[in-house]
């Protein structure tokens, strides 16, 4: 079976981005003078950014058919609903 | 004759075949499996978030209990192994199934796949070292061991006594399951390396095994990116 061929993205550049973002993340985590209300969203933002880089470029989701992208994305809202529903126990 | 015609008619599908997701079955199967893995890790990470929000007191500061620099190095190692995996994929897609070529210098499938296996094995090794180190210092899945360094931190109030047990159990469950996934990935990749890559069974015309194991490997890396932030940094 022949697999479709395409030009590869610059994987090393993505790796450099990931390494830099990890370094920034660690730096932010140890900035003890910053309030947690800033540190936690910043860390989550960097983690999501890194996860997106891996999913889009290393897992090639950016170049896959739209239907496969939907298949990959479907669990994410379900996961968010699960966490929010369970957390609502602490709210009510 | 009429009987034969009726049988042939019955063999026709009820509707014309439709195009699926435009990907081959192995890849689709891996994506469906990864979707189920998202739910699995969501259950673990979600439970951690819920327990942390609903904890009876403040949570233990990760940097006081865990060895964050060692794990940061391990995170970097896993990111490196992810790039070597995707380089293996790119190499075989371009028909470069050799190990190393020196004029001009280029790594082929065999080189990059071996680098990924070594990177993954090193990650598991560092995690085993981390666990040994943590247990030695008294951080157990059940909390702090009496008379240990962590127990002293609890006694001095640096680490809250009320939540150290919760932290221990959630920490070892999440990182342990992730380590198990990495171990499975290393074993699977070694199997493919020995039985397929080294025997020249992958080519630019068929490299499905490399692509599918690569998807699994990158997913494991992606999960670690989230776990590292949630468990070690926040």
ipTM: 0.89
pLDDT of residue A1: 46
Q: Which residue of A has its CA nearest to B225?
A: A47
Chain B's closest residue to A67, CA to CA, is: B21
A75-78 — which CB contacts under 8 Å span 24+ positions? A75/B35, A75/B36, A75/B38, A75/B39, A75/B42, A76/B38, A78/B39, A78/B42
Number of CB atoms found within 10 A of residue B231's CB = 20
Confidence of residue B10 (pLDDT cuts 50, 70, 90): low
How far apart CA B45 and CA B27 sit, in angstroms, is 26
**pLDDT score for A5:** 57
Q: Which residues of B touch A76 (CB under 8 A)?
A: 38
Confidence at B82, pLDDT banded by 50, 70, 90: very high
Using an 8 Å Cβ cutoff, are B58 and B161 in contact? no
Q: A91 in contact with B at a CB cutoff of 8 Å?
A: no
The least confident of B100-109, B114-123, B168-177 is B100-109
Chain B residues within an 8 Å CB radius of A2: 205-206
Helix/strand/coil (H/E/C) assignment for every residue in B93-160: HCCCCCCEEECCEEECHHHHHHHHHHHHHHHHHHHHHHHHHHHHCCEECCEECCCCHHHHHHHCCCCC
Nearest neighbour of A72 by CB, restricted to B35, B45, B207:
B35
**Maximum average pLDDT range among B1-5, B103-107, B157-161, B227-231:** B227-231
Contacts of A1 in chain B (CB under 8 A): 24, 205-206, 208
Beta-strand relationship, B143-144 and B100-102 = unpaired
Q: Which two tokens stand for residue B224?
A: 């670690």
Q: Is B204 an 8 Å CB contact of chain A?
A: yes
Our CA-based measurement puts residue A40 at a distance from the nearest CA of chain B, in whole angstroms, of: 6
Cα–Cα–Cα angle for A77, B185, A25, rounded to 5 degrees? 55
- Range from B59-68, B74-83, B119-128 carrying the lowest mean pLDDT: B59-68
pLDDT digits (tens, 9 = 90+) for B216-234: 999 999 999 999 999 999 8
User: pLDDT (tens digit, 9 = 90+) per residue, A8-38?
Assistant: 999 999 999 999 999 999 999 988 888 988 9
Classify the C-alpha dihedral B218-B223-B228-B229 as positive or negative.
positive
Please give the Cα distance from B232 to B234 (Å, whole number): 6
What is the domain partition of chain A in residue ranges? 8-59, 65-92
Beta-carbon separation of A71 and B35 below 8 A: yes
Measured over the CA atoms of residue B132, residue B63, residue B184 and residue A83, the dihedral's sign is: positive
Nearest Cβ partner for A79 among B38, B63, B208: B38
Residue B4, SS3 per DSSP: helix
- pLDDT score recorded for residue A32: 81
pLDDT at B139 over 80: yes
* Contact at CB, A55 and B222, closer than 8 angstroms: yes
| B85 in contact with chain A, both atoms CB, cutoff 8 A | yes
A26 near B CB under 8 A: yes
Q: What is the nearest CA distance from B94 to chain A, expressed in angstroms?
A: 8
Least confident of A19-33, B49-63, B109-123, B159-173: B49-63
Measured from the Cβ of residue A57, the count of other Cβ atoms closer than 10 Å reads 22
Decide if pLDDT at B9 tops 70. no
Which pLDDT value is given to residue B1?
Answer: 52
Is A88's Cβ below 8 Å from some Cβ in B? no
H or E element, residue B24: none
Q: Is B32 on the interface with A (CB under 8 A)?
A: yes
| Residue B17 pLDDT greater than 80, yes or no | no
Report DSSP letters for chain A, one per residue. -PPPP-PPP-HHHHHHHHHHHHHHHHHHHT-TTS-HHHHHHHHHHHHHHHHHHIIIIIS-GGGS-HHHHHHHHTHHHHHHHHHHHHHGGGT-
The answer, yes or no, to whether residue B147 has pLDDT greater than 90, is no
**CA-only gyration radius of chain B, Å:** 24
Domain boundaries, chain B: 23-233
How far is Cα A51 from Cα A39, in angstroms, rounded to an integer? 18
Q: What is the pLDDT of residues B62-71, one digit of tens each?
A: 888 999 999 9
State whether B233 and A26 contact (CB < 8 Å).
yes
Among B220, B222, B227, B228, most A C-beta atoms within 10 A, so best to mutate, is B222
What CATH class is the domain B23-233?
mainly alpha
Average pLDDT over residues B116-128: 98
Q: What's the pTM value of the predicted model, to 2 decimals?
A: 0.90
Q: What percent of chain B has pLDDT over 90?
A: 65
């Amino acid at each position: 079976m022949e697999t479709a061929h395409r030009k590869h993205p610059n994987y090393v550049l993505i790796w450099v981005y990931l390494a830099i973002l990890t370094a920034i993340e660690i730096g932010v985590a140890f900035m003890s003078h910053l309030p947690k209300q800033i540190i936690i969203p910043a860390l989550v933002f960097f983690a999501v950014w890194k996860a997106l880089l891996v999913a889009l470029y290393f897992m090639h989701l950016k170049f896959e058919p739209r239907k496969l992208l939907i298949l990959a994305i479907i669990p994410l809202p379900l996961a968010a609903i699960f966490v929010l529903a369970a957390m609502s126990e602490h709210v009510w | 004759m009429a009987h034969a015609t009726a049988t042939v008619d019955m063999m026709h599908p009820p509707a014309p075949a439709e195009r699926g997701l435009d990907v081959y079955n192995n890849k689709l199967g891996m994506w469906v499996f990864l979707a189920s893995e998202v739910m699995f890790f969501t259950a673990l990470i979600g439970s951690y978030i819920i327990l942390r929000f609903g904890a009876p007191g403040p949570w233990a500061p990760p940097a006081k209990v865990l060895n964050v620099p060692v794990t940061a190095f391990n995170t970097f190692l896993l990111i490196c192994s992810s790039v070597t995996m995707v380089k293996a994929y790119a190499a075989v897609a371009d028909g470069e199934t050799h190990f190393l070529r020196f004029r001009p210098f280029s790594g082929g499938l065999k080189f990059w796949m071996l680098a990924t296996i070594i990177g993954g094995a090193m990650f598991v090794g560092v995690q085993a070292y981390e666990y040994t180190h943590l247990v030695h210092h008294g951080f157990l899945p059940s909390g702090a061991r009496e008379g240990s360094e962590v127990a002293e931190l609890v006694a001095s109030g640096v680490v809250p006594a009320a939540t150290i047990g919760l932290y221990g159990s959630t920490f070892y469950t999440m990182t342990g399951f992730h380590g198990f996934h990495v171990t499975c990935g290393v074993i699977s990749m070694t199997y493919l390396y020995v039985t397929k890559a080294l025997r020249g069974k992958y080519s630019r015309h068929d490299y499905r095994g490399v692509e599918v194991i690569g998807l699994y490997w990158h997913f494991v890396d992606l999960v670690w990116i989230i776990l590292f932030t949630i468990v070690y940094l926040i």
